[in-house]
Amino acid sequence: MAVRGLRAGLGAARPRGMGPGCAAGLRSASEPSDPGPEPAGPATAALYVHWPYCRKHCSYCSFNKYVVPAVDEAAVRACLVREAQTLLRLGHVRSVTSVFFGGGTPSLAAPRTIAAVLEAAAEVAYLPAGAEVTLEANPGSADPARLSGFRAAGVNRLSLGVQSLDDAELRLLGREHTAAEARAAVEAARQLFPGRTSLDLIFGLPGQSHEAWARGLEAALGLCDDHLALYQLTLERGTALEAQVRRGALPEPPEELLADMYLSARTALAAAGFHQYEVSNFARKGARSTHNLSYWRAEQYVGVGPGAHGRFVPWGEGGRQREARVQTPHPDAWMREVRSCGHGTRRRAALSPLDQLQEVLALGLRTDEGVTQQRWGLFSPRLSLEAAFGAPGEARELQERGWLRLNGRALRCTPAGLPLLDSLLPALLCQLRRRWNAVQEEDGGGRDSR
């Protein structure tokens, strides 16, 4: 879905540059070169699995999804299983911390497909019994029988794409479900996944008033469990909704209205006991998504399935540096590649230490915990948080304006700064690059001009 914020399951930062494709010489994990010394502790990673099919195109969606007359599910399942095992082995992943089935519409997959991927992961890595296993579900494919099948398969958390509880808004978004179906799906999900059902809502639709959004949010609060994700609609080029707005058939929502909608939603959610733990995510009773937290904490993750993103060190082929990897987007091409060499990695780019620090900063500042000293130190033993952001410069100015806070625990946005994060980041990244290059020059190394 085309939304504000990091969408569950896909890394926010795009890898730079193109690497060789499978046919161009990526080795399969079954034929590793000398991997050299491994990390001190056991390698852990979260696992993201992409199911690329949907029943119809939503009017706002620019995701990697396909609407096809029929899916050869046995073939897709076999490829997901094979690629998961290949990439987990490639990363020498000993323990999978969480699993997320995203899409597309993974609730259209058969529960046995979900079970097969989980079993495959557990064959090559330790998958603790209590690990969070989330499935994204659309209300149109979330009847009680299907949901109990997913629970039996090993899913223990559900993320429901409700988006709106208003039929006219759902039609505008091109969703295939009605508000009544969304309500029924939430009730069924809460029965089967009590305390572990999340709802996605979208605001900022063309023509949506502040009052309509407030009413919709109130209705959702009357229905929801302990986790909500609120996304501001972004009008992505190539989508039907964006074309309608560009032609003038629909109005473009004004920026001030969008900001008001976001701020008033935060207030309403706080009053209902929800804690904002990320730009778009709110939880009460500790019901945070541990899988998504692993992205924002810049931990390793392996992405499996068409178009999936990953971030891990490919020890199995001699890698020493974390890579950004993207799997081949089209399902048919992806399956051909998985069958021929075990995985369908289309693009890969080694992330330099500065690349990684930039991700740590951009992702960490999205959360209430911010970029902790401890995490920063893991990625930057030479340049401390204080040295990077404590001296006079952009970060100091943002602190003085009350948008940023740096203390002995972390660098983080204040509640007033969080909604402004997108506009604060360029200055902070610029300051980081300057400080980083100064340290490199002191050490006699070269500048990183990227």
Give contact residues for ligand SF4 (rule: CB under 6 A).
1, 54, 57-58, 61, 63, 65, 103-105, 138, 161
Nearer to ligand SF4, 111 or 161 (CB): 161
Nearer to ligand SF4, 138 or 159 (CB): 138
Distance of closest approach, residue 303 Cβ to ligand SF4, in angstroms: 16
- Provide the token pair at 62: 């620019």
Does residue 135 contact residue 153 with C-beta atoms inside 8 Å?
A: no
Does residue 117 contact residue 80 with C-beta atoms inside 8 Å?
A: yes
Distance of closest approach, residue 138 Cβ to ligand SF4, in angstroms: 5
Nearer to ligand SF4, 161 or 319 (CB): 161
Distance of closest approach, residue 413 Cβ to ligand SF4, in angstroms: 28
Distance of closest approach, residue 96 Cβ to ligand SF4, in angstroms: 24
What is the per-residue DSSP string for 267-328?
A: HHHHHTT-EEEETTEEESTT---HHHHHHHTT--EEEESTT-EEEE--GGGT--S-EEEEE-
Nearer to ligand SF4, 208 or 300 (CB): 208
Query: How far, in Å, are 162, 234, 274, 353 from residue 203 at the CA level?
Result: 12, 10, 18, 37
Does residue 394 contact residue 427 with C-beta atoms inside 8 Å?
A: yes
Nearer to ligand SF4, 55 or 401 (CB): 55
Query: Residue 264's CB: how many other CB atoms inside 10 A?
Result: 15
Query: Residue 28's CB: how many other CB atoms inside 10 A?
Result: 16
Beta strand 371-372 with 410-413 is antiparallel
Distance of closest approach, residue 151 Cβ to ligand SF4, in angstroms: 21
- Provide the token pair at 51: 């199911």
Give the side-chain half-sphere CA count within 13 A for 306: 21
Nearer to ligand SF4, 57 or 405 (CB): 57
Distance of closest approach, residue 278 Cβ to ligand SF4, in angstroms: 20
